[in-house]
Amino acid sequence: MEWEGLNSAQKQAVETVEGPLLILAGAGSGKTRVITYRIANLIKNHNVHPSQILAVTFTNKAADEMKKRSLSLLSDLNYEPFIKTFHSLCLYLLRREGKALGIGSNFTIYDSDMQESLIKEILKSKEIDTKEFKPSVLGNIFSKSKDSFMTAEEYSKKAEDDKTSRLIANTFLSYEIEKDKRNALDFGDLILKTVILFRDFPVVLEKYQRLWKYVMVDEYQDTNKIQYHLVKALSELNKNICVVGDDDQSIYSWRGADISNILNFHKDYPEATIVKLEENYRSTKTIIETAANLIQFNKQRTNKTLKTSNPLGEKIQIKIFQNESEEAEGVVREIIIRKKSSKSGVFSDYAVFYRTNSQSRYFEEALRKKGIPYKIFGGFRFFDRKEVKDLIAYLSVVINPLDSTSLLRILNSPPRGIGETTVERLLKLSIEEGLSLFECLDRDSPEIKKGTKAKLKALHKMFTTAMDDLSSKPPSEITYDILEHSGYREHLENEGTEDSFSRLSNLNEFVNALKEYEDTNPDSSLEEYLGNISLITSEDNTKDLNDYVVLMTIHNAKGLEFKHVFLTGMEEGTFPHFLSLDTKDGIEEERRLAYVAITRAKENLDISFSRFTRKFGEVEARFPSRFLEELPSEYLSGETEEFGIRQPDRAPEAKRLITKEAKFESTLSKSSSTTLGLGKRVRHKVYGEGKIISLTGTGDNQKVEVQFGPHVVKKFLLAYTPLEVIS
């Protein structure tokens, strides 16, 4: 085959076919092309039968793209290389070989909903409160255990000897027993059971080692522990393993990805060939050298430098705004200006990146004001998010108590022990007595248990109090009260997961939006605001849009590229995120995330931040992200002098907040040292008893990490999540 268009490093990667090979593929360096050319080279030039090649990746989209591009180079073949995702590969293997483990070939695969349903069934059979032990939380614990190569039996042996840990372990064991009875596997089982199959039945493993003589793994930096063991086992006999990835783009540790897999490849295979693809073909020299300079501040990385032969291009624009609304309006204004002056003139050339989902609200509003179409990539529009719709339902009942649809939505959201049986009895009472569902909340019914009745009456009282406040309190204050007294805010705070913090941020943004509406419309009412939301949510569906501005979190941007990128919200605590500020690993992953964001831009990059933000309606001062300090000043333009990038005379407080690399050693504030400390046992409302394994930060930024079980480690911001010290 001809290697037309390949550079020397790409050619070396394609032509290295025997033995272990690590391809460190920098952003935009043509890794998919290298993978597909390497597959074609094995088949065309080395007489390897396509069936002897196994290529594994993470998504169906990536697998389909790899297959399509490989076949375009091998149009005369009658047999395809075996290109699969991790899960589809293991599904293929277990359907054929699972009987060795007692798994019937017709097993059912449980998705997350079916998994949670079974866990809920088990909890109810044990008379365990599903409000205290959420099936979704337990399902996440079980999945993480399997991703870490730990079975339910092993988890149980390592569990702490306290009530909560034992309960979780016993539920895990019961869950596995029930799945076995039903001949079902969950997604975590697919890879775990395959690795166990290979471990316990070497003959089966050898069969596939001899079948797949060449193993290739894409996005190796994103593999977790169990995936690592799977590909290691399959390639053990022939040692023809080729892994492709970029440690600088490892941004999924919260999903279980282990960056050490790629960093330690040379230790697993000392004889490995290492090829670095450092030539970027996507972006301007300004963008690439800025990204390369930033990532050099990380210690956990291989030695490589991204470079490009592309033109220098425009400088990166740095812009400061007073608040998020002005930032969004400024970004939209810039999009309009550039679109008018550009040759292509399409909105789809423009992407707005932000660190958290809750930030999208400002850009959605600014784009709607200008009539510009947009789509949120990998998520819902702000007012379509579950927690926001729940809050709107609460407020709708305050405005209109006859709105039974809204009331039914939130009767048990957050969970408060009002089940389907109670709802049926309330609806029956409503029909029999000719009352609204809301009125039935305050009625005595012999069919409803005393404890449940008290909860219904408390809910009724909360609503009537809010209704009475309509004439005396501003809408934002009423909304905040609803969040407090409904238990919704406390529920999310107590859950303490990244997802719950994200949902809490969305509720915060709803209150902020309402507060801003009040500021510009002093005589506004809650009814008027909800009416405006109804108009927004009834807009034409975005499915039919062909040209639109793209809004997305940076995590969702990985693997994509755009001509013009706006990287927004670059404030300390937002990006890097406040939950990542207390460890070196956390800061380094946030820096890798910034690196990913920058390298998505092809021609132009604008970076912006706000001086002030709101938290549940209250204004707070913010400071520039520390990452702005690490960008090379020669590639920057705009307001760099004003906010003090590399300027020695900026305000001492701002300088301290911008340049501090976080205190990585555990530090305690004086006020808490008498109650909290390393090794102390504490009780959490959701996770039960646990042991403090680290404490970092001070004041409002103090964070604590608690070990609740063998694979249940949670990080909490103490300002949000009070813990009860028990010993």
Q: Residues with catalytic annotation?
A: 31-32, 218-219, 249, 600
Angle, helix 386-399 to helix 475-485, in steps of 10 degrees:
110
Q: Which two tokens stand for residue 298?
A: 């990380």
Query: Partners of 636 in the beta sheet?
Result: 316
Q: What is the DSSP letter of 544?
A: G
Q: Which two tokens stand for residue 594?
A: 């910034």
Q: Which two tokens stand for residue 176?
A: 């596995």
CB count in 10 Å sphere of residue 159:
21
Contacts of 20 (CB under 8 A, 6+ apart): 235, 239, 240, 241, 242, 265, 268, 269, 271, 272, 273
Omega before 50 cis (within 30°)?
A: no
Q: Strands 549-553, 350-354: parallel, antiparallel or unpaired by DSSP? A: parallel
- CA 695 to chain centroid, in Å, comes to 24
Task: Evaluate whether 226 touches 148 at the Cβ level (below 8 Å).
Answer: yes
Residue type, 587: I
Coil, strand or helix at 137 = helix
- CA 545 to chain centroid, in Å, comes to 26
State the Cα–Cα distance between residues 636 and 607, nearest whole angstrom.
10
Long-range contacts from 147-153, C-beta under 8 angstroms, 24+ separation:
147/188, 147/191, 147/224, 147/225, 147/226, 147/256, 148/224, 148/225, 148/226, 148/256, 148/711, 149/192, 149/195, 149/225, 149/226, 149/229, 150/710, 150/711, 151/176, 151/192, 151/196, 152/176
State the Cα–Cα distance between residues 602 and 379, nearest whole angstrom.
24
Q: Edge-to-edge strands of the sheet including 562-567?
A: 374-376, 549-553, 350-354, 562-567, 601-610, 316-321, 636-638
